[in-house]
Structure 1
């Protein structure tokens, strides 16, 4: 009898240990569960244990894509910006100017994720990660960037289907514009005008990438870029005459009316008048809201805007 009782007790103890072990393994698995893992534009694998509940962005360019993928109600901090500020974000806490993000203000928002603009705010990563806050560094310059980041933001907000639908819609709109114009390989030059002078935009610039999407040839493609700007090259009147573009697009920073008046006065010179684009009055000034900063999810509008300059029938 005693021998049977001992056997029963031993069995109970083994079962208890097994159940305890299973419980601890289940708890460990729960603790290690991951909501999503994404790769940011610094090449980092960013793992989020749960869907972010409080997001701070350091660039206004992220606000519309977040709204489009159902993340507007998650944003608790954003930078000051005179452009690209959707209505939903106007009353959200400011964390400083785009080029001067205030780390203390970011921390005061108690975010669990900060989305950082590549090339501008990476210095925040170390301080924020050191405070236990996840960071995601994203680039929104080219159309391919925008599509990649829409997918990333859709994954972060748990709305992958909305991201896929948005990308499909943008692709279809751009295809419609391209299908509505001749497939001519137009030779274009893109000049960037500011109060400090002129430069030439290369294929990596916003206007350069849009021209490339339309199948046009940027005559400055392959030029040696500026030291501090890989998407632009020095302006040279002699080089521009040699390149002989049939179309000139002008992007600008500053008051457009003043820049346009200055450019038109400059183009009265004999060298400028020898260029077909100037002589044939095919110089077009592109809107700053689409071509100074990344148009983001409005890339189809930028493609249509450039196409309509040359072909008014473009969709």
Structure 2
């Protein structure tokens, strides 16, 4: 049985589409090694022992598990190309939007790492094949930091998690101190063939942009009801905002999306009045850092934008 959900947004940005948050944490039982996690959906999930067979439905979660020294037995498709060759032969089990229960069941996972709230409805089916479910999301750098801490507790790798979060904090801190990037006004566009949305400040991409020193011109755009981290791209609003830079995010097929967006701009004279278009400051973001949750590589994402803003 396969459950598929068609959505416009990438697993990034899916990386986590959610409106609530939780501190997340874990408690260890006296003497029996039991670990009780509190995930981002405020659910308590108990394990008799450290889970060994892990399925991750998001690429950011895969990155964090491997950075902690763990492994997964099932993973999502990586549309941006594999970042870790060790994962080449690991079975693909869908994604947060297309959960393939049959493939997951064959792997006999101890735990499935999913997205809150996207995979909340999948919990009964996943429990039914004997898997526990831990839900997280990544709408900000702070969320990624919390994911690292929570997965560190899940794997009994708290010291390694502390090392990774310290490295993240140091990297972000140094980038914030660097004054090289001017406070440019930026429009961040998520593009899929024929569809373009503006990333708002409460999205992961929006948080990365502001951390890099950019000003999100879509900050006052009305959010979409189903996807509150994004807004419909309205030409009149963009022309009025007059961004200095336009950054295009894609989830795979970046060349096609770029061509489509350029065609859209060329076909609408209004776009030619925008400073970013007039001055040739339209950039396609690397899909491995922005097409999905980059996990521990989020510092690289901030650095990439900061470098473009300094041009």
TM-score when normalising by structure 1: 0.79
Distance in 2 separating the partners of 1:246 and 1:51:
49
| Structure 1 residues 199 and 142: alpha-carbon distance in aligned structure 2, compared to 1, 3 A threshold | same
Question: Which deviates the most, 242-251 or 147-156?
Answer: 242-251
- 2:114–2:134: 8 Å Cα contact kept in structure 1? yes
Distance in 1 separating the partners of 2:56 and 2:243:
40
Q: Which residue of 2 aligns with 1:36?
A: 35
Q: Which residue of 1 aligns with 2:65?
A: 66
- 1:181–1:311: 8 Å Cα contact kept in structure 2? no
Q: Which runs of 4+ in 1 moved over 6 A?
A: none
How many residue pairs match? The answer is 281
Distance in 1 separating the partners of 2:109 and 2:250:
36
1:78 aligns with 2:75: yes
Q: Please report how far the alpha carbon of residue 125 of structure 1 lies from its aligned counterpart in structure 2 after TM superposition.
A: 1.1
Q: Which residue of 1 aligns with 2:275?
A: 276
Question: Which deviates the most, 262-271 or 40-49?
Answer: 262-271
Specify every segment of 5 or more residues in structure 2 that has no aligned partner in the other structure, as ranges. 1-28
| Structure 1 residues 147 and 29: alpha-carbon distance in aligned structure 2, compared to 1, 3 A threshold | closer
More helix per residue: 1 or 2? 1
Aligned-pair Cα RMSD in Å: 2.5
Q: Which residue of 2 aligns with 1:163?
A: 161
Task: Give CA deviations for 1:88-123 in whole Å, capped at 9, x if unaligned.
Answer: 222234434553323233233222222223344333
Specify every segment of 5 or more residues in structure 1 that has no aligned partner in the other structure, as ranges. 1-27
Distance in 2 separating the partners of 1:55 and 1:116:
11
- 2:36–2:46: 8 Å Cα contact kept in structure 1? yes
- 1:195–1:254: 8 Å Cα contact kept in structure 2? no
Q: Which residue of 1 aligns with 2:295?
A: 296
TM-score when normalising by structure 2: 0.80
Q: Please report how far the alpha carbon of residue 141 of structure 1 lies from its aligned counterpart in structure 2 after TM superposition.
A: 4.1
Distance in 1 separating the partners of 2:207 and 2:192:
20
Distance in 2 separating the partners of 1:278 and 1:124:
43
Q: Please report how far the alpha carbon of residue 132 of structure 1 lies from its aligned counterpart in structure 2 after TM superposition.
A: 4.7
3-state SS in 1 of match to 2:138: coil
3-state SS in 1 of match to 2:243: coil
| Structure 1 residues 190 and 94: alpha-carbon distance in aligned structure 2, compared to 1, 3 A threshold | closer
> Which one has a bigger Cα radius of gyration?
1
Matches within 5 A, 1:57-136: 57-72=56-71, 75-83=72-80, 85=82, 86-96=84-94, 99-130=97-128, 132-136=130-134
